[in-house]
Structure 1
């Protein structure tokens, strides 16, 4: 019987099961179109209304600001026409070399300038030379004798017209608006009267515009702006001929005129002189940033060659329009969703019932899994407790072993010192034996005075032997380390005392610079003595080759706030102390210094050391949160340095 293989079966036909999903997709798209359409319509209407309102408010502020600027300028621009009425001015132009007449005219101009409140008033002859000035007494801005024939306002007045120009002073470097008027003697122009009007009052009125604004002259150069970085920039690209003209006229006093940072394309109504445009988003400028879209409005000031323009950010208006659009979209979405809610209420209830049943099943499975995981966690906690107990036992065993090792090292050192100590005790014992025999004879003879002297000597000998034995008793005592305030000089003295016989025998000179009661460390005194004894013994061994044999011990306090190497300063608030053990031996050959603190490393001959002394010493010092270092001395020999805290150490900052 033939069968058709599964992989060669014909493809199934179109299924009707996909139609409900397609209907849902189409319904969703229709709802989105309605919501987006309502939102876009609301945004568009609100944007148009907002821009219209913004344009109206900006035009009103422009009118007010234009009136203020025109008032500042127009108040004084008629003054040059009246100067020629003064006979002193005409007399000066007729006799320009008359020094007295020049002084009289300058005094008149000075009084006139003070009365008007302008920046300066001056008179030029027909060659452009300043003959009299209101600022004649100002050293840097007198203008008298200055040649201003290159100024456009002079050329226009000389030709019989009224000159009006913005310019920056040549010497004072102060910007101002210059108004010039021809001075006629009969029908001939014999001079020019000029007034410089200050613009400081305009700088104080930018706030009334509530937006960024500029004033541009006839050269389309920004001469004033609410943004200081926009000043003296050109709204349009200047041609080469125009740049040459500006250089010759020095209107901007040789300032470099850069391109205005925003690319402005405006439309100007020639009848109303209204300037309007929209600055698009993302126009490049010299900082290569992105600019917000702006509404640009402007005015041409009456009777002047200036244009006033404001740049108003449209982002707040668009944000407000976006809010209206969003509210429109939300309202449309609410209506649609309300209809969908009523249509799907039954389906939601059915799905809720089904979800509840599934949740109960999931909860049951979860409870079973939690119970299993809880048991695993309990077992893990039990194992962890056992490991903690084992670790504590191991740590206790390690501490006991370390204590035994420290005590063994003490006994080894005492064994090495036994011969010298025995010699130190032999002499007092022999003297005591001889003196006691003499005391018996003196007693038999009844010589009590001699008997008393011998007994006194015996008592001193006993005290001397006690002084020898007492450090050994304290050093050999087996006890737990307890950190207390320890006099460093006392610990150094005990260490040197134990090695006294050996050092005298081997002719080792001792330079002990530690002064009793001067410096203290916070550590166990017995353990500190052991470290010093180990270091002193190593130093004596290193100097066995021959003279000079000099052992130096010194202690010093580190400056406040200066931590020891590899230790934080905050670990010990009271500070740190440094103890140096210096010898004149052979030092550390090769890489010996890098292995000094490794267990069982020693430079001594076989049978003279196990290589554990420095390891134990480092562990003892670190137990008190200190540090030990070794290095070669430049003058020869070795240096061991201990860094110890002078007070309790903060565990949170300890290394």
Structure 2
């Protein structure tokens, strides 16, 4: 087919076609976005109007509910019985209390609901309408309550608080009682406590979450009871403690912080879902967005806050955006479909040609790759053979180094071994001469006893020589089950004289473990560690060498060797296993013992660790496998 017939229907060059597609997609998104914004703005406006109307009705109802008993305080302040009680001398007040209580009870029964009581100028409740119930306020000291302090100053006060007797919150209306005959002096305070339960029930009946907060931004009532006494903003603990003590009878305040700007809420503020993450409003189905509106209750100085769910607005806006973009999207998709059909037909023909050429190139590459792989296999075989040879050489060198270390240890202990054997040989010579003399005298019993002792001493010499021959024998590493306790005893035997000379106390574990390793090489590791420990304890007041074993992770055994020597400094720990590093004087060591010991242990799946010991000294941990490694 000619090239002119293979172009897209738009007959535009590829760069221009790409720009056209991008432009159409941008226009489609813009149409949807504009529709969403317009619908959302209209929905927010309607929601704001509905929430504002609801707030006005709810605010008027609650304001009327909590303040409908406000005039009672004036009636109490005008009562002659109450005035007589307040003006009576302290010793005669009991004569007037019954009449004042009866008046307050009658007034309360007639009005039905509120608690009415009278305080003297010290804040003591001297008359009350609740004298017939168990938790009466009569005799309670309310001098610390803000409503009393404000009324005592001559100002009527309306205040939410919790008294210390009934622990029941309420709306307190306090009015000073004045004595007109003595320059209108305050002689007492008349208080009416209105219940807030009716207002709280009204809040719970609301569909949207609703709060009532006071001037201190503390939630007094809520449609969700668990948010009572929450705060809108974080406040200092001392401020909350003071308000709780004065107004809420010790209730905990501010345990929950809602983080709402109450002043911004007067005009309406949107709370996004991200704002609520970890916030107390999670209970209000925290995945939602809310429109928060507030109104002031003029008669109480409270504010009422309503949370209106924005989800219906968002859903409606998304629906309008979808519908607005659908028509434009259908046209766009139709054009793109026609263009893509032509492109796919052209690409299919091109792909067939490319596949044929790629198949030819692949066959050539397979042939070349086969030759390369054959050469790589040959080189790999040569490398494997060379690595096996080097590994054998390294293992032989390692065995030679281990044997040299064994001989070096024996050389260091030669003096002690010669001394032990010399003593035994001297004793054997003396006992042999004595046996000859006793035989000559005919004392066969004494002669036989001397010969028996000679035989025992010869056995002791054999006990000394046999471990030395085993330790010094050159042999490849042979892994098997090894009794760790016996290996420790064999290593200690080589240092028996030095341990006695330096008066070193040796502590061994009560039990034993079986490890999977080479006995001779494990003994060499222990000899190195014991020799280092003996050298470290020279001149120490306490010389103790301790061995302990315990199970380690992954089915391994941990054997610890602990001395009471000079310990390990941080600098020593940093270079502990480096070759040729030593803390001994020049000529006393090459600094290869610990490095060699760790290499030996790692060869059969173990390890060597070093650390300072508790209470001073050094602690080395020999980690050994207890089962053959797979």
Tell me, yes or no, whether TM beats 0.5. Answer: yes
Which of 341, 353, 363 aligns to 2:337? It is 341
Q: CA 1:356–1:326 in structure 2 vs 1: closer, same or farther (change >3 Å)?
A: farther
Post-superposition offset of 1:400: 2.7
Aligned residues: 569
Q: 2:507 aligns to what SS in structure 1?
A: coil
Conserved 8 A contact 1:102-1:132: no
Contact 1:126-1:190 within 8 A present in 2 as well: yes
Cα pair 2:560 2:619 within 8 Å, conserved: no
Q: Look up the match of 2:194.
A: 197
**Per-residue deviation, 1:307:** 5.6
Q: Which residue of 2 aligns with 1:554?
A: 545
The CA deviation string for residues 87-140 of structure 1, in whole angstroms up to 9 with x for no partner, is: 744653675754114532564447977998967422368999975345896599
Please report the TM-score for the alignment, with normalisation by the length of structure 1: 0.62
* Equivalent residue for 1:352, pick from 330, 348, 353: 348
Q: Deviations over 1:168-201 (max 9, x none)?
A: 5798999743346899999x99987431224356
Aligned with 2:40 (options 41, 47, 53):
47
1:407 corresponding residue in structure 2: 403
Q: Is the 8 A contact 2:547 2:559 kept in 1?
A: no
Aligned to 1:142: 141
User: Does 2:520 match 1:526?
Assistant: yes
In structure 2, the residue matched to 1:470 is 466
Deviations along 1:428-466, whole A, 9 cap, x unmatched?
664686588679979xx8x87677656644543443333
Cα displacement string for residues 340-394 of structure 1 (whole angstroms, at most 9, x for unaligned residues):
5346644542343234433443454456556655754665465455434533442
Instruction: Say if 1:296 and 1:550 are closer, same or farther in 2 by CA, change over 3 A.
Output: closer
- 1:123 matched residue in structure 2: 118
Deviates more, 1:392-401 or 1:507-516: 507-516
Give secondary structure in 2 for the equivalent of 1:513.
strand
When the two structures are superposed, what TM-score results if normalisation uses the length of structure 2?
A: 0.64
* Matched position secondary structure for 1:577: strand
Whole-angstrom distance in 1 between the partners of 2:19 and 2:526:
92
CA distance in structure 2 between the aligned counterparts of 1:620 and 1:435, rounded to whole angstroms? 50
- CA displacement at 1:252 relative to structure 2: 11
What pairs up with 1:264-275 in 2 under 5 angstroms?
A: 264=264
- Counterpart in the other structure of 1:3: none
Aligned mates of 2:513, 2:423 — CA distance in 1 = 30
Counterparts of residues 2-401 of structure 1 (less than 5 Å): 28=21, 31=24, 35-36=28-29, 38-40=31-33, 42-43=35-36, 46-47=39-40, 50-51=43-44, 54=47, 58=51, 62=55, 65-66=58-59, 69=62, 72-73=65-66, 76=69, 80=73, 88-89=81-82, 91-92=84-85, 95=88, 98-101=92-95, 103-104=97-98, 107-108=101-102, 109=104, 120-123=115-118, 132-133=127-128, 138=137, 141-143=140-142, 151=150, 165-168=158-161, 176-179=170-173, 193-199=190-196, 202-203=199-200, 206-211=203-208, 213-215=210-212, 224=220, 226=222, 231=231, 261=261, 263-264=263-264, 277-279=267-269, 295=291, 308-312=304-308, 314=310, 317-342=313-338, 345-362=341-358, 364-365=360-361, 368-369=364-365, 372=368, 376=372, 379-380=375-376, 383-384=379-380, 386-401=382-397
**Cα offsets for 1:193-251 (capped at 9, x unmatched):** 4312243564565454454545477x897774657798588xxxxxxxxxxxxx9xx99
Aligned partner (choices 579, 583, 586) of residue 598 of structure 1: 579
Partner Cα distance (2:612, 2:86) in 1: 95
Rg: which structure is higher?
1
Q: Is the 8 A contact 1:211 1:310 kept in 2?
A: yes
Q: What SS does the aligned partner of 2:193 have?
A: strand
Q: CA deviation at 1:333?
A: 0.6
Tell me, yes or no, if the aligned pair for 1:213 and 1:309 is still in contact at 8 Å.
yes
Alignment of 1:422-441 (within 5 A): 423=422, 426-427=425-426, 430=429
More helix by share: 2
| Structure 1 residues 251-308: Cα deviation after superposition (integer angstroms, max 9, x where no partner) | 999x99xx97255386xxxxxxxxxx443799xx9xxx9xx99645566769877663
Q: What is the CA–CA distance in structure 2 between the aligned matches of 1:99 and 1:326, rounded to whole Å?
A: 80
